[in-house]
Amino acid sequence: MKKVVLAYSGGLDTSCIIPWLKDRGYETIAFIADLGQGDDFKEIEKRAVKSGASKVYCLNLQKELIEDYAFKALKAGAVYENKYYLACALSRPLIAKHQVDIAKKEKAKGLVHGCTGKGNDQVRFETTYRLMAPKMEIIAPVRIWEFKTRDEEIDYLKTQSIKINVTKKSPYSIDTNIYGRAIECGILEDPWQEPPEDIYAMTSNPLKAPNKPTYVEIGFEKGIPIKIDGKAYKPVALIKKLNELAGKNGVGRVDMVENRLVGIKSREIYENPAGTVLNAARLELEALVLDRDTMYFKEQLSQKYAQLTYNGLWFTPLREQMDAYFDKVCKYMTGTVRLKLYKGSAQAVGRQSKYSRYQEQLATYGEGDQFDQSLAEGFNTLWAMPFQK
Ligand code: ARG
């Protein structure tokens, strides 16, 4: 039998894929990525075996997701279509990379994912597969198999005498990791409908959030957040702490219609408490330490970085080149931003840095003004000159 490695979530689709592949002469190794989605991984491992996997790998990739993916995107200021912090998009190349590593170690011949043909994730997985293991066969069963409904998949498992508890299907399709949560389908497919409250899991309803604001100080070093309220945190712990603080204040909800890579628009709801706070703080620190030209120029690259990430082009030369650029930009991104979290908003209310370019003696309208106003007349004269006739 040909050996393949499957990116296994434990859901009905990927559980069906295992016997479906066996019918076609494949032996499946299931790979489960723990990205902080909070599942019962022991249970999911058992489910993979019950479905017929010959071997199961479960790796905790949370640290790598935050350090090598999310923090790079943060330094780059990558926010897709100005709203989406890319939690799901960042996780796919990471999962695919480890899947390829396992496949090579196991001398497997193929890579399998459970994505549909309409989404971005298939592209993110397959582009990474193709770049890292160009010779391996790629199988996307959900795009080609005969099942049209969940019930047909459940019936199929019965015919294979596979007994796994299928949890009651929620009307939504949800993707979760420690950096954020994405929710689509069901009533959300009508872009006019306000999202019902029960779809949210990482953030409380801003209306029911505490009546007193939470102040939080985030310390950055070279663009990387390292402290909360003066206390040092490791990356994963920092994200968890911010998820908690922002989540309880209802911070981090996004409702958007986005342009998918495959050409359709989709309506997606995101919860990204930590990412929202971190990006608000980053923007504020940038405003303090970066010169004007750098700020305006980098903005264009931020957008490009977000598009590359969204479009599955993480492991490409341009993304790596841009990391070198953003490392340079972030050389002076050391300092602290104080934010006020209150009923859904994360507002910066203070900022400081040893690299601050803000000069109070030039800005002040009070005592100690050192701005030489006698220069202004000449400046104004020359500024308008090119346009005068
Ligand atoms: N639209 C987001 C992206 O392409 C999330 C995709 C997964 N969403 C979901 N609800 N299952 O990155």
Domain boundaries, the chain: 2-174, 193-352
Q: Which CATH number fits domain 2-174: 3.40.50.300, 3.40.50.620, 3.30.379.10, 3.40.1520.20?
A: 3.40.50.620
339: Cβ below 6 Å to ligand 1? Answer: no
Query: Helix, strand, coil proportions of the chain in percent (round to 5)?
Result: 45, 20, 35
Domain 193-352 fold is Argininosuccinate synthetase, chain A, domain 2 (3.90.1260)
Alpha carbon of 90 to those of 64, 65, 243, 267: distances in Å?
11, 7, 18, 19
User: Whole-model pTM?
Assistant: 0.96
Instruction: Considering the candidates 121, 181, 253, 351, report the single residue annotated as catalytic.
Output: 121
User: Burial code of 231-265, b = ≥16 C-beta within 10 A, e = fewer?
Assistant: eebebbebbbbbbebbbbbbbbbbebebeebeeee
Active site residue 13: yes
290 CA distance to ligand 1 middle (Å): 33
How many CB atoms within 10 Å of residue 50? 15
Instruction: Considering the candidates 173, 345, 353, 356, report the single residue annotated as catalytic.
Output: 173
The pLDDT, as a whole number, for residue 122 is 98
120: Cβ below 6 Å to ligand 1? Answer: yes
Amino acid at 239: I
129 CA distance to ligand 1 middle (Å): 19
How many CB atoms within 10 Å of residue 290? 19
Alpha carbon of 194 to those of 137, 158, 187, 190, 267: distances in Å?
42, 38, 9, 9, 11
173: Cβ below 6 Å to ligand 1? Answer: yes
Instruction: Considering the candidates 9, 15, 92, 351, report the single residue annotated as catalytic.
Output: 92
Task: Kindly give the number of the ligand 1 atom that is closest to the alpha carbon of 310.
Answer: 12
Among 86, 113, 120, 185, residue to substitute to test ligand 1 (most atoms within 8 Å of Cβ): 120
Residue nearest to atom 4 of ligand 1 (CA): 120
Terminal Cα-to-Cα distance of the chain (whole angstroms): 82
Active site residue 155: no
The pLDDT, as a whole number, for residue 328 is 98
175 CA distance to ligand 1 middle (Å): 7
The pLDDT, as a whole number, for residue 163 is 86
The pLDDT, as a whole number, for residue 6 is 98
The pLDDT, as a whole number, for residue 360 is 94
88: Cβ below 6 Å to ligand 1? Answer: yes
Question: Which positions of the chain have pLDDT values less than 70?
Answer: 168
334: Cβ below 6 Å to ligand 1? Answer: no
61: Cβ below 6 Å to ligand 1? Answer: no
Active site residue 338: no
The pLDDT, as a whole number, for residue 166 is 74
60: Cβ below 6 Å to ligand 1? Answer: no
| CA neighbor of 354 nearest in space, from 331, 334, 330 | 334
184: Cβ below 6 Å to ligand 1? Answer: yes
